[in-house]
Structure 1
Amino acid sequence: MRLRRMSIVLAMALVTVATVSGFGRAQPSWKLLDSGSTARLRGLAAVSDRVAWASGTEGTVLRTVDGGRTWRQVGPPDTTGLQFRDIEAFDAWHAVVLAIGEGELSRVYVTDDGGKSWTETFHNTDPAAFYDCVAFFDRRHGLALSDPVDGRFRMLATQDGGRHWAVQPTDGMPPALAGEFAFAASGTCLVTAKRPGPDAWFATGGGAAARVFHSDDFGRHWSASATPIPSGATAGIYSLAFQNRRHGIAVGGDFTAPTSAPDAAATSRDGGRAWTVAKAAPGEFRSGAAWRSSRGDIAYAVGPTGSDVSYDGGRTWKRFDTGSFDAVACADGACWASGEAGRIARLR
C-alpha cells in the first residue's frame, strides 16, 4: 500500500512538471473557416472571440461578427487593384486599412460603420515612398511606416483615428542601412505594446543587419538595435509582437527559402534594445507572430509551412500545424490566422 501511494505521488509530480514545462498541455489546433474568398489575406485584426477583420489582395476586406461562422466582403468600392496588407480594427464598426505599394498605390481608408462606407484619408503622392504597416496606440493615435525615403524610414502619424495623417519629421529617425527596408508580409512590421502607451517598434531586413527600431514618445524619436536574426536581400525580421514595454518576440527568415530559417526567432526582455536567439526556433520562415494575451508566456508564430507555439515567452517553439498562414492575431485569448487562397482559421 505504501509503495502504491508513493507511485501515485510520483506520477502526480511528473504530470505537474510536464504541465509547467508545456509538454503536458493540450496541443492547440486551427479550426478552418469558410471565408468565401480566394484572396490572399495578409492583414488581420482580432477584436474578440466573435469579431475579427481580414484584408488582402484585390481590395478585399472581410469581417465576421459571429465568431467566424460567416464572413462579409466589406471592402472599399473600386479598389480591386489594391493590396490591403494591414488592417487595424477597434470594434465591429471602426477599422483602418492600409494599401501597400509604390507611389499612389499606398493609401489608407477608414470606416465607421462596419464597412458599409469608407473614406480615403491618405493617398501617397511621393514616388519614393512605399508604406508597409500601420499600428495604433489607442483608438485615436496611430502610425504608418514607409520604407526609407532619402535615406531614412518615413513615418505618418494620426491623432484622430486615421481620419487625417501627417508625414513626421525625420530628424529623430536614425539613417537606414544600405538596402534596408521593412516587410509588408502580415501587418506586423510596425507594432505597439498591447497595453496603450508611448512605445512603438518596427522591424527591418534587406541590409547588413536585421534591426528593430524603438520609440518611447509616440513615434517622434527612434533608436535602432541590431539583432542576431540573419538579414539579406529577402531576409530579415518579418514580424514583431510586444506583450508590454519590455517583452518582445521577433520572427522572420527568407521567404524565398521557406523551409530553412536558422536563428530566425529571437526574444527581448528590455524593450527591444537587446535580442537573444530562441533556444529552439521554428527553423522555417515565419511571417507572423502574436502573444495570446497581455499576461502569460504563450505566443504563436505562423508561416507558409506551418504554425508554432511557445509556452515560455518565445525562448522555445514547438510545431502544432503544417498548414499555410501569413498572419496571426489575438485578442483576450481569442486567436485568429489568415493566409493564401482565403484561408482563415480560429484557434480551438
Structure 2
Amino acid sequence: MQIRFVICFVVCAIASKVSAQSPTISLLDTSRKVSIRGLSVVNDDVIWCSGSNGSVAKSVDGGKTFTWQTITGYEKRDFRDIEAFDANTAVIIAVAEPAIILKTKDGGQTWKKVFEDTTKGMFLDAMDFSKNGMGWVIGDPINDQLFKALSIDFGDSWVSITGLDENNKLRKGEAFFASSGTNIKTSTDKVYPNIFTTGGMASRLFYKNKTYQLPIVQGKESTGANSIDVFKTKAVVVGGDFANDKDTTNNCVLIDLKGKTGPTFTKAQTPPHGYRSCVVYINEKTLVACGTSGVDISYDSGNNWQLISTQSFHVVQKAKNGNAIYLAGSRGKIAKLSF
C-alpha cells in the first residue's frame, strides 16, 4: 500500500511538472490585416511591431492594448525590422529602394528619416544593436558586395560601409532573407562583435571577418539560413525551404563559437518541424523557433525540438529586460507565449 502511494505521488509530481512547463500561445491582437516581421520587446510591458503598409504597433501594457499607426508618407512601404530602446524610442528599416531608416523619440508621434540610399537594387534585410548603441544594418548585394551600414549613436546617424572586400563578396544567388530581422547579431562582446548568416543558392556564416559554409539546406532561392541567436559562446541557426515549409531537412544548425580554429557546426538531432524564420534563446537550454508551419521549442540547447503549435508566425522575441515572450506574423497577428 505504501509503495503504491509513493509511486502515485511520484507520477503525479512528474505530471504536475510537465503540465507547468507546457507552453501556451495566446492571441493578443489581430485587428490589422498587415504582415508583421519586425518585433522588438523592450521589457515585459513594452512591445513594438512593424510591418507592411507603413504599419507600426506599440503596447505599453504587456499586450493588453496596442496602438497602431500608418506612418504618413510611407503608406506603401514594408518595415521588415524594428529596434526599440524604450517606450519612446525606436528605429525601423524599409526594404527595397530607396532604402530608408526612420527613428522616433516621442513614442511614434513623429518619425525622422535618418538614412536613405537610392542606389538601384537596394534592399535592407535586418538590423541589430548592441547595448552601447552600436547598430548594424545588412542588405542584399550591390555589385556582388553585401551592403552594410553602421551607427554608433543608437540609430541617430548611419554610415554606409563600401568598398571591395573579398570577405564581403557574396556568391551567385546568395543574399539575405528579410523574414524576421534576425539573421544578424551585434554585440560589444569579444566573442561575436558582429555575426550574420546568408541564404539562397549559398548559405554561410560571417564571423570575425571570415566566412564558413553552413550545413543547412541550400541551393535554391527559397532555401538557407533565416535567423541566428547567440548565447555566450553558443549559437543556433534556423531556416529551411520556405517554398516547402513542412520540410525538416537540414533546417537547424548548432554552433560552438569557441573553437580554436573557428566555429564548429552540428545538426540538430530532432530538428524543428519545418521551415523556421526566427529563433530565440529563452535561457541557456531553452529556445523557441517559429515559421509559417508552426512553433517549436527545445529544452536541450537546440538538439531536439518539439512542435507546440501549427499556428503561423514570422518572428518571436524575448524581452530584453524581462521574461515575456511574444510572437507576430501575417494578418496582424500578435501573440504571447506563456509557460
2:273 touches 2:307 (CA, 8 Å); kept in 1?
Answer: no
Q: In the alignment, which of 252, 258, 267 is matched to residue 277 of structure 1?
A: 267
2:135 touches 2:186 (CA, 8 Å); kept in 1?
Answer: no
Q: In the alignment, which of 126, 142, 145 is matched to residue 149 of structure 1?
A: 142
C-alpha separation between the residues in 2 aligned to 1:144 and 1:192?
10
- Listed as ranges, the gaps of 5+ residues in structure 1 are 216-221
**Aligned-pair CA distance for 1:289:** 1.0
**Aligned-pair CA distance for 1:35:** 4.6
Percent identity between matched residues is 31
**Aligned-pair CA distance for 1:77:** 1.6
What is the root-mean-square deviation of aligned Cα atoms in Å?
2.4
The match for 1:93 is: 88
Q: Does 1:250 align with 2:237?
A: yes
Where 1:256 maps in the other structure, the secondary structure is: helix
The match for 1:162 is: 155
Q: 1:25 to 1:158 in 2, by over 3 A?
A: same
The match for 2:29 is: 34
**Aligned-pair CA distance for 1:11:** 5.2
The match for 1:59 is: 54
C-alpha separation between the residues in 2 aligned to 1:283 and 1:306?
7
Q: How does 1:1-348 map to 2 (within 5 A)?
A: 3-4=3-4, 7=7, 15=14, 26-101=21-96, 103-104=97-98, 106-170=99-163, 171=165, 173-192=167-186, 199-207=193-201, 209-215=202-208, 222-231=209-218, 232-244=220-232, 246-270=233-257, 273-292=263-282, 295-331=283-319, 332-348=322-338
Once the two structures are superposed, residues 98-126 of structure 1 have per-residue CA deviations (whole angstroms, 9 ceiling, x without a partner) of 1111x31x210001111011101111111
C-alpha separation between the residues in 1 aligned to 2:298 and 2:188?
18
C-alpha separation between the residues in 2 aligned to 1:162 and 1:288?
23
**Aligned-pair CA distance for 1:276:** 1.1
C-alpha separation between the residues in 1 aligned to 2:75 and 2:5?
68
Q: Letter of the aligned partner of 2:253 in structure 1?
A: A
Once the two structures are superposed, residues 131-168 of structure 1 have per-residue CA deviations (whole angstroms, 9 ceiling, x without a partner) of 11111012521000011122221210011111111111
**Aligned-pair CA distance for 1:9:** 8.6
Q: Letter of the aligned partner of 1:136 in structure 2?
A: F
- Listed as ranges, the gaps of 5+ residues in structure 2 are none
C-alpha separation between the residues in 2 aligned to 1:203 and 1:65?
32
C-alpha separation between the residues in 1 aligned to 2:188 and 2:290?
19
Aligned length: 331
Once the two structures are superposed, residues 27-79 of structure 1 have per-residue CA deviations (whole angstroms, 9 ceiling, x without a partner) of 11111012521110011011111111010000001000011111112453221
**Aligned-pair CA distance for 1:169:** 4.0
C-alpha separation between the residues in 2 aligned to 1:206 and 1:282?
19
C-alpha separation between the residues in 1 aligned to 2:45 and 2:2?
52
Structure-1-length-normalised TM-score: 0.88
Q: 1:199 to 1:172 in 2, by over 3 A?
A: farther
Once the two structures are superposed, residues 7-32 of structure 1 have per-residue CA deviations (whole angstroms, 9 ceiling, x without a partner) of 479759x949x96xxx6762111110
**Aligned-pair CA distance for 1:180:** 0.5
Structure-2-length-normalised TM-score: 0.90
C-alpha separation between the residues in 2 aligned to 1:183 and 1:269?
23
